[in-house]
Amino acid sequence: MKKLVFTGAGVAIVTPFCADGSLNYPKLAELIDGQIARGTDAVVICGTTGESPTLTPEEHAEVIRFAVRQVNGRIPLIAGTGSNDTAFARKLSLEAQAAGADALLMVTPYYNKTSQAGLVKHFTSVADAVDLPIILYNVPSRTGVNILPETYYTLSRHTNIVATKEANGDISSVAKTRALCGDDLAVYSGNDDQITALMVLGGKGVISVLSNVAPEAAHAIAAAALAGDFAGSARLQLEWLDLCNDLFVDVNPIPVKEAMNLMGLEVGPCRLPLCETDEAKRSKLKVTLARHGLL
């Protein structure tokens, strides 16, 4: 059995920006410390929710270095280092390793995509180059490519490929992946509305957008399932389902940043091409936040 990077709820943390679009490092430090204080089990930096596509290579490397220093070993720090260019993904991964990241999160190649054989070669190339555990990230709604269970099985045989963040929404596919890979590939939910469902099948937790605004809730849903209290986990999952859904009322991370700003966390705007949401969606989000006592 491979060593788990974490169990429970890891936050896919936003990248805060100043009004002029520059990085807001003091706010990032505040967010990281707040997440740790409120029970989050891991921090994922420079992921989709962290707007990694609009970070320059220099910013990407510095944000990871900063986060490693701020976390300071208190919980695992997982660095997003995926790319649709294998050589660049290797470069980002080696930089994150040098910075002191505990693990890597690697999304499937997007836009140019690839075959299942290409996925194996892409991820293996990076896994061979580093000495860190790798969590794959399968989100076909964004990338246009889906990792099949049989491909997961092949990849799970690599020592450094230890887990996947599964966001394809296909519970049957997750069941087949679990049956094929067993303990050689941990599964984390990549969708906040499916935490309990994936953990019933043996998942180890979630990499969560919800955790940005309600870290205790995401942690509690996962913790109950880890303790075998699936009924309790399901009750909490359904209690928070409206917010899980409304945090995706627009393109992620537009709604979660809007929510955090409404809550007074002042994380700033998204970088273009992501722009602020419309008033109808903002109002819907505000009502849901208020319902949960977050405003």
Catalytic residues: 137, 165
Residues 267/260, Cβ–Cβ less than 8 Å: yes
Classified as helix, coil or strand, 148 is coil
Tally of CB atoms within 10 A around 198: 24
Residues 54/62, Cβ–Cβ less than 8 Å: no
Residue 72: φ, ψ to 5°: 55, 40
Token pair in block for residue 79: 């660095």
Torsion (CA) 73, 62, 126, 45 in degrees, nearest 10: 60
SS (H, E, C) 70-111: HHCCCCCEEEECCCCCHHHHHHHHHHHHHHCCCEEEEECCCC
Percent of residues in the chain assigned helix, strand, coil, to nearest 5: 50, 15, 35
Q: Which residues 6+ apart lie within 8 Å of 28 measured at CB?
A: 13, 15, 16, 63, 66, 67, 70
- HSE-CB for 250 with a 13 A CA cutoff: 20
Rounded to whole angstroms, how far apart are CA atoms 109 and 215?
29
Q: Which residues 6+ apart lie within 8 Å of 232 measured at CB?
A: 224
Terminal-to-terminal C-alpha distance of the chain: 43
